[in-house]
């Protein structure tokens, strides 16, 4: 049955807007604890109380192409009932979001992420190890003096600043379920490696973490492998890395010794002067690539290591799902205040994890891998549920509705023959120009 027809059939079965999916995944005790962190808690019941504002922030992530006040109206977010223009002024929504702040949303994201990110599903392990990945992404904000002053931006080749202020996002992701285990947000100028260093403790024992080559650091890699039990790492080797061969296992597999830079040892005096890593060379699409890893040669072959590193791209797909499927390829985030920008992004990550976890639970019910479910249809499907299942039959409890939800998600699996995603080269997006553009102007002759 076509996906669009499934949504129409659901519309015939249920009424409008319920948060059963969110409230099933997020225990109410967590929500209450998060709301206690609100910087401006009040003793009276407002027309738009904090618990409703929290759901509004999640709804904003699900309905990016709609104004915030329309999201509130559609999702019935108001203490006295339908949030129409007569009951809830548009300015009241902004003030309510300011009262809530970003801290409760951040706390709730971390609480859920730390719980869901370590869950195991079908086909979750790689040779007995859970697979994680670390990478960073940039999110554009609207161009206002306040946001540019706080977030900053990069410089172009002409030494001009980039068109929009940019927020830096660094995340730790479970590669198989695509759930974000932890994340850090910061202004553009902060270092990705410093941000990643703050959540290395969230990497569990008996795991392998895939790093982008931009995170190459003796401090970072040794912090992963020397803490806990069986915590390994794998990353693409940096070009022109100077090393000394200690032992050769095969022509494309060897153990090498490298010096730890004086700058790194100055930042961390506990680092040794030298360290040993395994170097594996392989060929992909006619190009030779080299990876460094802490995996021992006695238990992990060079062929399996080369194949595993291809999964590092899964975290890039996760960022694409957030920017493309959830944000509808919007040029910038929608908020225009610093605190609300952080609130919006924490809500975006929380909503993303809810979708990913619900998809993983559905995949488990069908004895399939979570990575075999297509994200965008599931995102659209759950968004519809927030509207369609509002006033469902009282005898239809959360368990039954969730079963129906996952049954629908079960039809959204990737076919086995298309599970390998096609290659999509990166493209430079259109950026803002300082000169006015007249799209209706006649072409030059």
pLDDT above 80 for 120? yes
CA distance 203 to 172: 8
Mean of pLDDT values over 267-282: 91
Q: 160 vs 248, which has greater pLDDT?
A: 248
Mean of pLDDT values over 79-99: 63
**pLDDT value of position 2:** 40
CA distance 111 to 105: 10
Domains and CATH numbers, the chain: 3-107+334-415 (no CATH), 117-317 (3.90.350.10)
Mean of pLDDT values over 309-327: 93
pLDDT above 60 for 165? yes
Q: What SS3 state is found at 186?
A: strand
Mean of pLDDT values over 316-342: 94
- The torsion angles phi and psi of 323, rounded to 5 degrees, stand at -75, -40
CA distance 147 to 335: 10
Lowest mean pLDDT among 40-44, 88-92, 126-130: 40-44
pLDDT above 80 for 341? yes
pLDDT above 90 for 226? no
pLDDT band for position 316 (cuts 50, 70, 90):
very high
CA distance 407 to 401: 10
CB of 433 within 8 A of CB of 163? Answer: yes
**DSSP state string for 31-86:** HHHHHTT-TT--SS--SS-HHHHHHHHHHHHH-TTS-HHHHHHHTT-STTS---TT
Dump pLDDT digits (tens) for 1-56.
Answer: 443 343 333 333 322 234 445 555 666 666 666 666 665 444 334 555 666 777 78
Dump pLDDT digits (tens) for 141-154.
Answer: 999 999 999 999 87
pLDDT above 50 for 66? yes
Mean of pLDDT values over 227-248: 90
**pLDDT value of position 302:** 93
**pLDDT value of position 395:** 35
CA distance 399 to 401: 6
- Per-residue DSSP letter, 323: I
Lowest mean pLDDT among 55-69, 129-143, 208-222, 336-350: 55-69
pLDDT above 70 for 322? yes
**Sequence-separated contacts (24+) of 154-163 with Cβ below 8 Å:** 154/188, 162/431, 163/431, 163/432, 163/433
Mean of pLDDT values over 282-288: 88
**Sequence-separated contacts (24+) of 323-331 with Cβ below 8 Å:** 323/137, 323/139, 324/376, 325/375, 325/376, 325/379, 326/61, 326/62, 326/64, 326/351, 326/352, 326/379, 327/64, 328/64, 328/65, 330/64, 330/65, 331/140, 331/164, 331/429, 331/432
**pLDDT value of position 84:** 43
Mean of pLDDT values over 123-129: 86
pLDDT above 60 for 338? yes
pLDDT band for position 224 (cuts 50, 70, 90):
very high
CA distance 63 to 53: 15
Q: Which two tokens stand for residue 45?
A: 């019941």
Q: Which two tokens stand for residue 88?
A: 């809830």
Say how many residues make up the chain.
445
CA distance 59 to 153: 28
Q: Give the chain's mean pLDDT.
A: 78
CA distance 423 to 313: 11
Dump pLDDT digits (tens) for 390-404.
Answer: 334 333 333 444 455
pLDDT above 80 for 202? yes
pLDDT band for position 171 (cuts 50, 70, 90):
very high
CB of 342 within 8 A of CB of 103? Answer: no
């Amino acid at each position: 049955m076509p996906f669009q027809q499934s949504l129409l059939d659901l519309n015939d079965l249920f009424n409008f807007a319920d948060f059963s999916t969110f409230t099933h995944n997020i225990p109410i005790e967590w929500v209450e604890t998060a709301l206690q962190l609100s910087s401006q808690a009040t003793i009276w019941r407002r027309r738009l109380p904090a618990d409703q504002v929290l759901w509004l922030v999640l709804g904003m992530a699900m309905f990016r192409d709609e104004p915030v006040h329309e999201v509130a109206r559609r999702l019935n977010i108001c203490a006295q009932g339908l949030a129409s223009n007569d009951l809830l002024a548009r300015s009241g929504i902004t003030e309510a979001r300011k009262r809530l702040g970003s801290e409760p949303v951040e706390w709730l994201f971390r609480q859920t992420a730390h719980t869901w990110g370590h869950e195991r599903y079908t086909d979750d392990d790689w040779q007995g190890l859970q697979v994680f990945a670390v990478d960073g992404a940039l999110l554009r904000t609207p161009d206002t003096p306040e946001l540019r002053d706080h977030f900053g931006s990069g410089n172009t080749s002409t030494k001009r600043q980039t068109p929009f202020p940019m927020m830096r996002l660094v995340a730790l992701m479970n590669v198989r379920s695509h759930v974000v285990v932890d994340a850090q947000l910061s202004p553009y100028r902060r270092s990705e490696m410093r941000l990643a260093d703050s959540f290395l403790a969230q990497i569990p024992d008996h795991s392998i973490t895939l790093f982008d080559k931009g995170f190459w650091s003796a401090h970072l890699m040794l912090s992963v492998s020397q803490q806990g039990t069986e915590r390994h790492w794998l990353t693409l080797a940096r070009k022109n890395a100077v090393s000394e061969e200690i032992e050769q296992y095969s022509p494309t597999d060897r153990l090498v010794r490298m010096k730890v830079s004086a700058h790194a040892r100055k930042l961390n005096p506990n680092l040794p002067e030298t360290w040993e890593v395994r170097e594996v060379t392989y060929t992909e699409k006619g190009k030779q690539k080299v990876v460094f890893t802490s995996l021992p040669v006695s238990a992990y072959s060079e062929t399996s290591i080369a194949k595993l590193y291809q999964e590092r791209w899964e975290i890039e797909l996760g960022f694409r799902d957030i920017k493309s499927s959830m944000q509808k390829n919007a040029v910038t985030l929608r908020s225009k205040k610093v605190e609300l920008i952080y609130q919006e992004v924490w809500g975006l990550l929380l909503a993303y994890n809810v979708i990913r976890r619900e998809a993983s639970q559905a995949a488990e019910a069908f004895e399939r891998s979570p990575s075999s479910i297509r994200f965008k249809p599931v995102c659209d499907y759950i968004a519809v549920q927030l509207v369609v299942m509002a006033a469902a039959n009282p005898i239809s409890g959360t368990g039954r509705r969730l079963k129906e939800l996952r049954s629908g998600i079960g039809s959204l699996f990737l076919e086995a023959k298309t599970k390998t995603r096609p290659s999509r080269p990166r493209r430079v997006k259109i950026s803002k120009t300082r000169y006015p553009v007249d799209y209706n102007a006649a072409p030059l002759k």
